[in-house]
Structure 1
Amino acid sequence: MGTLSRVLVALAAILATGAVNTPAHAIANGDGVPDGKYEFAVKLTDIGIPTADGGKRNSSCSGGLISPHWVLTAGHCFKDENDKRVSRTVADKTIATIGRADLKGKAGMTANVVEVRQHGDADVALARLDRAVTGITPLKLNRTKPKDGQRLRLVGFGLTSGTAKQTASRLQTGQFEVTSVAKTELGVEGTAPRKTTSACPHDSGGPYFTDGKPAVVVAVVSRGPRCPHSGADTSTRVDAIAPWILSVVGKDLSPPKKPTNKPAAPVKAAPQAQVTEPTPPLLWIAAIPLVLLVGGLLVWTLRPRRGSHRRR
């Protein structure tokens, strides 16, 4: 048997057993994100989450930076040992990695999560970082109702598939389309690079956003069927809960005052008070007694006397 024949036989055997290896992707059947792109993407790594049997476990979620100190993510990323969502950190340590598409690299920065706020109804939480993220443009909050057919992009650090053992070391992305709009949730379905492009475990909290400058976050990964799959996943609408988000992070969204290079305006000296000499007493005031005396004498001198007047 010739060399070509042996290769063809071996390939046929591989195909028959289904043993062809395909590239592994997070956000199942997605694309790797180049370094320096979608820097607002966040990986939340939980170390030492308490379990019901008294033990500890590790886990992770995805998220998006929406202000220098706050990350938008899924509410179910913070559950206690009784599987209840809580407004606090649950792990011994929760580390946020921001601006690093390749988790093996050194780009971007890390910070610790020190506070958690749960929405309560929607599957959304806000995680506050212990230091401000600078040099990265946060996601802008969507304030209008999404429409059927609207195109969105998702980024996340989830598993390669529903059966994968490790999460992706490089940020993954895919394109999606809105298929349904409910009161606080959206149905979103993968469109590219494949129809089966879909969110996987640990993509929870990842942002669905519109490409642009700045990017606008429209929804947050919540739940869905086992990945990869065709059909819709369920996400939480950002516009429906934007007032609550702003009530928490509003002050942190205020842009810092830009330093000015203009020279300081000269300080004007306060006008000096005019010093005036006290007005001296008027001489006529001092002369009143003398005037009265002279006047009295004059009147007395000129008064008519007997026989002194001549008739005309």
Structure 2
Amino acid sequence: MALAIVAGAGLAAGYVTVQKGATASAAGSNEAGKVAHSRSGSGGQAAEATVKAAPAGTAPALPPSIMPFNAKLTSKDIPVAGGGVRGGGCSGSLIAPDWIITAGHCFHDLDGTRVGGTPRYHMAVAVGKINDQDPRGHVVQAVDVRQSPVNDLALVKLSEPITDITPLTLPTGPPKVGEKVDFVGWGSLSATVVAPADHMKRGHFQVEQIHHTELQMTPLEARTVENSPCHDDSGSPFFVPDGDQHGRLVAIEDNGPDCPQPGLETTARVDTILDWIHEQMG
């Protein structure tokens, strides 16, 4: 008996569930109408973790999850102009027991403008899973949003702390050009059919360009929808892995070309706002 882990990725935009006759765009959580496109990571390769045999009459012991700090954000009631609601999603990562980090445009008003405070729609946050059926991990709610003053990044407070998963550590200094990072996300597996994936995707990138509040990332392998960001991958972490359980956060996905087309991923730097992050979580 084994658990299969499919690697890949995606970015921010939402699947549409319109009610009350309203019309909604298929673009999901975007700032000022801008659609963010994300990518995925390991070309659809599967990694297997063997489940240990258990005594008769008991459930088998599950192995530790892979990259358990990953977070899948989903909503079914995002209001749309003219009435009605739609669904949408983003990705993120745990950085403290009761905080995740994601893209700022995942939380917005009717005009697509980033907003903070109590979310204006319900956003479920699944942490520590590798697919939707994974019994491990937690599903909690987003209860408070803090929007970065300088880039498209947000901190999200959770309805309850998650104490059995080690969060990603924050950077201690600026990244370097050529630094290798991993990406994990829950974005769409199609550039045209927009819906969150049912499994965690994973890809491998490196820092290509460094700007004041953003980083440009380039893939280290041929792009597929499984290994690079797509719709609903906004907020996905780019991190330096330390085994398959821990890592150091470098940046989060904001936008990029239509997946899986060539081009650089635009990500929000984390190191430039460390003081602000600590102040919000303090």
Change (3 A) 1:100 1:24: closer
CA distance in 2, matches of 1:203, 1:112: 18
1:66-77 equivalent positions in 2, closer than 5 A: 66-77=95-106
**TM-score normalised to the size of structure 1?**
0.69
Match of 2:248 among 216, 219, 229: 216
Distance between the aligned counterparts of 1:68 and 1:59, measured in 2? 24
Percent sequence identity is 37
Q: Give the aligned partner of residue 208 of structure 2.
A: 179
**Structure-2-length-normalised TM-score:** 0.76
Asked if the contact 1:87–1:116 (Cα under 8 Å) also holds between the matched residues in 2, the reply is: yes
Partner of 2:173: 144
- State the number of aligned residues: 227
Query: Following TM superposition, by how much is the alpha carbon of 1:54 offset from its aligned partner in structure 2, in angstroms?
Result: 1.5
Relative to structure 1, is the Cα distance of residues 130 and 24 closer, same or farther in structure 2, using a 3 angstrom cutoff?
Answer: closer
| From 55, 65, 69, the counterpart of 1:40 | 69
**Alignment map for 1:197-236 (pairs within 5 Å):** 197-212=227-242, 214-236=246-268
Secondary structure at the residue paired with 2:67?
coil
Any idea what SS the aligned residue of 1:93 has? Answer: coil
Aligned to 2:155: 126
Q: 1:195 to 1:153 in 2, by over 3 A?
A: same
Check whether the contact 1:190–1:230 (CA below 8 A) recurs between aligned residues: no
Find the partner of 1:105 among 126, 130, 134: 134
d(CA) in 2 for partners of 1:85 and 1:98? 23
* 1:58, distance to aligned residue in structure 2 (A): 1.0
Letter in 2 for 1:219: A
Mapped to 2, the partners of 1:48 and 1:126 lie a distance apart of 21
Preserved contact between residue 33 and residue 101 of structure 1 (Cα < 8 Å) = no
Q: 1:92 aligns with which of 121, 144, 155?
A: 121
Indicate the residue corresponding to 1:157 in structure 2.
Answer: 186
Alignment match, 1:17: none
Q: Is the 8 A contact 1:29 1:228 kept in 2?
A: no
State the secondary structure of the residue aligned to 2:220.
Answer: strand
CA distance in 2: counterparts of 1:33 and 1:147, whole angstroms? 29
Deviates most, 84-93 or 168-177: 84-93
- Does the alignment pair 1:60 with 2:92? no
User: Aligned partners of 1:107, 1:162: CA distance in 2, in Å?
Assistant: 29
Q: CA deviation at 1:161?
A: 2.6
The answer for the alignment partner of 1:242 in structure 2 is 274
Please state whether the residue corresponding to 1:215 is helix, strand or coil.
Answer: strand
Q: Is the 8 A contact 1:63 1:73 kept in 2?
A: yes
| SS of corresponding position for 2:167 | coil
User: Structure 1: 5+ residue runs without aligned partners?
Assistant: 1-22, 251-312
The structure with the larger Rg is 1
Q: Distance in 1 between matches of 2:47 and 2:122?
A: 27
Q: Which runs of 5+ in 2 are unaligned?
A: 1-5, 10-38, 49-63
- 2:183–2:204 Cα contact (<8 Å) kept: yes
| Equivalent residues of 1:41, 1:64 under 8 A apart | yes
| Structure 1 residues 45 and 120: alpha-carbon distance in aligned structure 2, compared to 1, 3 A threshold | same
CA deviation digits over 1:234-268, x for unaligned, max 9?
00111011111111113xxxxxxxxxxxxxxxxxx
Measure the CA separation in 1 of the matches of 2:199 and 2:214: 28
Residues 189 and 198 in structure 1, CA contact (< 8 A), matched pair in contact too:
no
Higher percent of residues as helix: 1
1:189 and 2:196 aligned: no
Structure holding more strand per residue? 2
**1: CA distance, partners of 2:223 / 2:175:** 21
Query: Does the aligned pair in 2 maintain the 1:78–1:88 contact within 8 Å?
Result: no
Q: Relative CO higher for 1 or 2, CA cutoff 8 Å, sep ≥ 6?
A: 2
Deviations 1:71-100 (Å, cap 9, x if unpaired)? Answer: 000000001111111003444311110101
Q: Distance in 1 between matches of 2:47 and 2:249?
A: 18
